[in-house]
């Protein structure tokens, strides 16, 4: 899993930061999931190796313009660029009307199947590898944070142990991985669990869009490998942050600490701060949560596969 920040600013585009969009690359699937799609997101994609046709899901946190104004253009461009695989957009009530109206008025015709799912709290997506959960955050309009949980994966086949018993590679290995017991040609019966390593613990990413500090944010971030949290303002602007339903660097760090998260990355930075201010913002967060960083456009964070549990 890899995170790519396509836009890390707040409110409106600035010279050093575009507005919000975050890409999650699922390396095992070759798929891309987007979280929010602010104005200019498709332009930001041009500066990366990410291909719009590889985007299969888009999760919208809320319907403020700096999080959705890039969506109609991206949906259209994905079609123009040969995207034919289905795409699903998840978001609060109203996202369907916004998309349908935008595409209809602009006479945009898509060459792929587009599904729009208007969500509430709870599990919004699940497959054999991932669960995506949404909870309501504390913002001026209905806003959801997302928790992406990778399911635990089976352990690796202990090949050396099999070889030591004279069991050579072949179709039998596939059976050992998928069946509880296997009878060999020589009559021996194997307990397959003895030849499978410990399960690989799944990774967790929490994406907390615009919000004041709230308990749902802590719940979504619980034990996460990475928390991405808005930090629109520095710590001394706490009253201003509260007035505009946003968080400060310090407040985001407190959420990560309460949640027992492993790492925090701050984004949705006000245009009053330039990139040269990143060390200040990062330092404020690190006072509370040492493993904190500040995002800038095109920053990448790799979330490696966890080692086997013992």
Closest alpha carbon to 55 in 71, 68, 39: 71
Q: Is 268 annotated as a binding residue?
A: yes
CATH 3.60.15.10 residue ranges of the chain are 2-153+200-302
Q: Is 229 annotated as a binding residue?
A: no
Q: Is 246 annotated as a binding residue?
A: no
CA distance 35 to 268: 13
Write out the catalytic residue numbers.
66
Q: Is 210 annotated as a binding residue?
A: yes
CA angle (268 as vertex; 150, 15 as ends), nearest 5 = 130
Query: What's the chain's Rg over C-alpha atoms?
Result: 22
Q: Is 36 annotated as a binding residue?
A: no
Q: What is the mean pLDDT of each run of 10 residues along the chain (310 residues)?
A: 97 93 90 97 96 95 97 94 92 98 96 97 95 98 98 86 87 87 87 85 95 98 98 96 97 98 98 95 98 97 73
pLDDT given at position 144: 98
Q: Is 310 annotated as a binding residue?
A: no
Structural fold of domain 2-153+200-302: Metallo-beta-lactamase; Chain A (3.60.15)
Enter the pTM of the model: 0.89
User: What are the two backbone dihedrals, phi and then psi, of residue 48, each rounded to the nearest 5 degrees?
Assistant: -130, 180
CA distance 303 to 55: 19
pLDDT given at position 195: 86
CA distance 215 to 155: 34
């Amino acid at each position: 899993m890899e995170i790519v920040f396509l836009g890390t600013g707040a409110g409106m585009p600035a010279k050093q930061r575009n507005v919000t969009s975050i890409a999650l690359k699922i390396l095992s699937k070759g798929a891309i999931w987007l979280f929010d799609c602010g104005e200019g997101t498709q332009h930001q994609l041009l500066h990366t190796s990410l291909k719009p046709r590889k985007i299969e899901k888009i999760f919208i946190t809320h319907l403020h313009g700096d999080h959705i104004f890039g969506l109609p253009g991206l949906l259209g461009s994905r079609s123009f660029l040969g995207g034919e695989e289905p795409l699903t957009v998840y978001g609060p009530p109203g996202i369907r009307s916004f998309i349908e109206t935008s595409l209809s008025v602009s006479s945009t015709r898509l060459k792929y199947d587009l599904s729009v799912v208007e969500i509430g709290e709870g599990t919004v997506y699940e497959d054999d590898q991932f669960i995506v959960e949404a909870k309501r955050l504390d913002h001026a309009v209905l806003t959801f944070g997302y928790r992406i949980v990778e399911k635990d994966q089976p352990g690796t086949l202990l090949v050396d142990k099999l070889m030591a018993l004279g069991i050579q590679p072949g179709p039998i290995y596939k059976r050992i991985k998928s069946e509880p017991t296997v009878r060999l040609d020589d009559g021996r019966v194997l307990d397959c669990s003895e030849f499978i390593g410990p399960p690989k613990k799944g990774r967790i990413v929490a994406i907390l869009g615009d919000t004041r500090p709230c308990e749902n944010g802590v719940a979504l971030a619980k034990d996460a490998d990475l928390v991405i949290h808005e930090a629109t303002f520095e710590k001394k602007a706490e009253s201003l942050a509260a007035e505009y339903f946003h968080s400060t660097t310090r407040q985001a760090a407190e959420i990560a600490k309460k949640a027992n998260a492993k790492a925090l990355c701050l984004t949705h930075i006000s245009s009053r701060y330039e990139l040269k201010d990143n060390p200040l913002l990062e330092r404020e967060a690190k006072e509370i949560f040492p493993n904190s960083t500040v995002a800038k456009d095109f920053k990448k964070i790799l979330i490696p596969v966890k080692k086997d549990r013992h």
